[in-house]
Amino acid sequence: MASRRALHIALMPGDGIGQEVIPAAASALRTLTTSLPHLSFTFTTLPIGFQTFTETGSALPDKTVETLQKECQGALFGAVSSPSHAVKGYNSPIVGLRKKLDLYANIRPVKSVGGKAKLEIPGVDLVIVRENTEDLYVKEERSFDGGGEIGRVAEAIKRISERASRRIARMAGQIAVRREEMRGNKKGMVTITHKSNVLSQTDGLFRSVAREVLTGAEFAGKGLVVEEQIVDSMVYKLFRQPQYYDVVVAPNLYGDILSDGAAALVGSLGLVPSANVGDTFVVGEPCHGSAPDIEGKGIANPIAAIRSAGCMLEFMGEIEGARRIYDAVDEHLREGTVTAVDLGGKAGTAEIVEDILKRL
């Protein structure tokens, strides 16, 4: 019998439809305890996001970080309405949170289930493992006058370290081996994605360190296949032959672009979850944005958030709880009605949540 485990989870809805989908994910966790009585959850709602910034002057209040570090074992984050133009004093709170909690891996599974999403491509079952703390997302930028015809110039630092590359490659390898064990007859494969033919120092370091880790002693004898792909051809091949890929590991920017693009393979960003994973903390996060155009209308797709709750549990070691959430969502997508706004169905948020909770 599983030992009892009480988990204190932070809910950080953030902006836009985050306010609608994170409560749905919390409901899934509460319902899960009826079939897994060894689990119990308590929740704390914490402020984060652009609305919080406009009200308090900080998009990521110190109290939010302190509560996460001292009181919580995991968290669910919704979305943030980051402005496209510079706003004095504002920085992306989710980027800041990843750095403060050292959530160095962003794990984004993309899977087709033979459901009712009109644009779903069958046979897709891959995981994009994105380094989460550096690359261009260190946000060290500057602008200056280049003089003469050059005019204004803007520069950004792209930082790749051996430490970050090593641990994200190790995470990718561990996920591939676990997937191999679960599938039995299919070998695990990791595709290292980079642009080292042009960026020989930064991407070159990422490539060489990742290959060293994945072909080294830790994964020797585990049947792991290791290959690499230049990022521009990776984009092409991902859309031409997505069934080929298993685990894709990439620096921060490429991983962000690839994972959002890969959502098109299964029909909608509203279906794709993620987990921000560190050695001691996990934050589940749906891959969609704040979608202000549909905010408050009751039509947002809650599935990415509910699946993100499953991802959070998976990387907290609660594999059975994660599996039950994944299975309930997959059954719903095959048998139930789907959201109108992104999948061409007729259901709203509440109907989707109700059906998934019944299946749980």
β-pair type (189-194, 225-230)? parallel
Which band of pLDDT confidence, cut at 50, 70 and 90, is reported for residue 184?
low
More confident residue, 237 or 178: 237
Q: Decide: 301 and 349 in contact? Cβ < 8 Å.
A: yes
CB atoms within 10 A of CB 336: 19
CB 206 within 8 A of CB 163: no
- Cα dihedral 259, 265, 271, 272, rounded to 10, equals -20
- Picking from 106, 252, 124, the residue whose alpha carbon sits closest to that of residue 172 is 106
Regarding predicted confidence, which is higher, 183 or 7? 7
Q: Find how far residue 358's CA is from the centre of its chain.
A: 26
249-284 burial code (b ≥16 CB/10 A, e <16)? bbbbbbbbbbbbebbbbbbbbbbbbbbbbbeebbbb
Nearest to 340 by CA among 118, 170, 188: 118
pLDDT at residue 1 above 80? no
Q: How far apart are CA 100 and CA 78, in angstroms?
A: 18
Residue 204 identity: G
Name 198's Cβ contacts closer than 8 Å, sequence gap at least 6.
none
Q: 57 — phi, psi (to 5°)?
A: 90, 0
Q: Which range is least confidently modeled, 1-5, 24-28, 88-92, 163-167?
A: 1-5
Average pLDDT (123-130) is 95
Residue 189, H or E segment:
strand 189-194
Q: What is the pLDDT of residue 185?
A: 61
What is the distance between the terminal CA atoms of the chain, rounded to a whole angstrom? 20
Pick 354 or 342 by higher pLDDT: 354
Q: What is the mean pLDDT of residues 28-39?
A: 94
Residue 299 has pLDDT above 90, yes or no: yes
Structure tokens given for 240? 């031409």
Is a pLDDT exceeding 80 seen at residue 7?
yes
Model confidence at 83, in pLDDT bands (50, 70, 90)?
Answer: confident
Pairing of strands 152-156, 141-145: antiparallel
316-336: average pLDDT: 93
Q: In this predicted model, what pLDDT tens digit does every residue of 41-53 receive, in sequence order?
A: 999 999 999 999 9
Q: The tokens of 173 are what? A: 């390898």
Q: Does residue 224 have a pLDDT over 90?
A: yes
pLDDT bracket for residue 2 (50, 70, 90): low
Is the pLDDT score of 26 beyond 70?
yes
Q: Exposure of 217 by Cβ count < 10 A (0-12 exposed, 13-18 middle, 19+ buried)?
A: exposed
Count CA atoms closer than 13 A to 108's CA, side-chain side.
30
Average pLDDT across the chain, whole number:
93
